[in-house]
Structures are given as C-alpha cells and as structure tokens.
Amino acid sequence: MLAAEPAGLRDRCAVVLDAVGATTTWYDAVGDASRLKLVLNAWLLGLLAALADAIRLAELVGVDPAAFLDTIDGGPLGPAYAQLKGGAMLARSYPAAFPLAMAAKDAGLVQAAVAEAGAELGVADAVAALLRRGVDAGHGNDDMAAVVEVLRPA
C-alpha cells in the first residue's frame, strides 16, 4: 500500500491499510504516493509488454515459450510476475485480475504526467500504444496479459 498522511492521520488509517495490504509505504505530502504509483505502473506495464514481446519472439523463432519462462524462473531475470502473466499468455486464458482497459488507462496517466513535465519517454509511449491496440482489438475486459494477442496473428 502507498499512502500519504494528511494532518497526522497515520495511526488511524494504519489499522485499515494494514488489514488490506502486506506493507504500507508512507509519505508526508499528499500526492507523493500517487506519483510513485505512476512510476510503479510504468515499470509494471513495461514489464508486461516486454514479456509479451519475449513470448511472441519465442513463438516466432521456434523456441518453446514455456522453456523461456522455465529458464528465467527464480533467477535475477525472472520476476514472479513473469510466471503469473506469462502462464496466462501461454494458456491463452485471460480471466481478468486486472483488465487490459484499466492498464491502458494507467498507461495514459503515465503519458499525461510525462507530457505535463514537458518530456517524453519512448518505452512508456510504445507500451501505451500496444495496450490501446489490445483494447481496440476487443480485449479490454480481459486480463492485461491478453496484450500478447495483439502480437499474434489473427
């Protein structure tokens, strides 16, 4: 959980947040937690898009995508998230834990924050475009792992 403490409410809020999340990272200023969430979402969505690319590349070059996931499992290149979403991509089963449409919305928020800062980020823009393609292809209500389907032939 990410939280900001307006006017000394940490102790009162901690009881609820501790019941919902494993840990809570506190910030003093309102808005700091939201900005960190944007950064975390950019990282997570970038990881998701790179995973979809790697799964599809394995399929294209004749490598068993499961062998890729097995190879990275438990090592420094293999976050647990890769196993979770990669398994869904291999099974082509996308019950929504987090819908692709919501992931695309979050990618748009990242883009808006970057634009407001007067900058640009290449990966964030590419990820946002890929997620929007997934929504446009009819996968908006599927889990965000369905983004791999955009890279597969129809």
Q: What is the pLDDT of residue 7?
A: 64
Average pLDDT, the chain: 92
Report pTM: 0.88
Q: Per DSSP, what are the bridge partners of residue 4?
A: 27
The H-assigned helical ranges of 10-153 are 10-20, 32-61, 65-72, 80-91, 100-116, 122-134
CATH (residue range 37-151): 1.10.1040.10
> What are the angstrom distances between the C-alpha of 37 and each of 61, 75, 110, 150?
36, 26, 10, 26
Q: Quick check: 120 and 114 in contact, CB under 8 A?
A: yes
133 or 2, greater pLDDT: 133
pLDDT one-digit tens code per residue, 54-89 = 999 999 999 999 999 999 999 988 899 999 999 999
Q: Which two tokens stand for residue 24?
A: 């809570």
Percent of residues, the chain, with pLDDT higher than 90? 74
Domain ranges of the chain: 1-30, 37-151
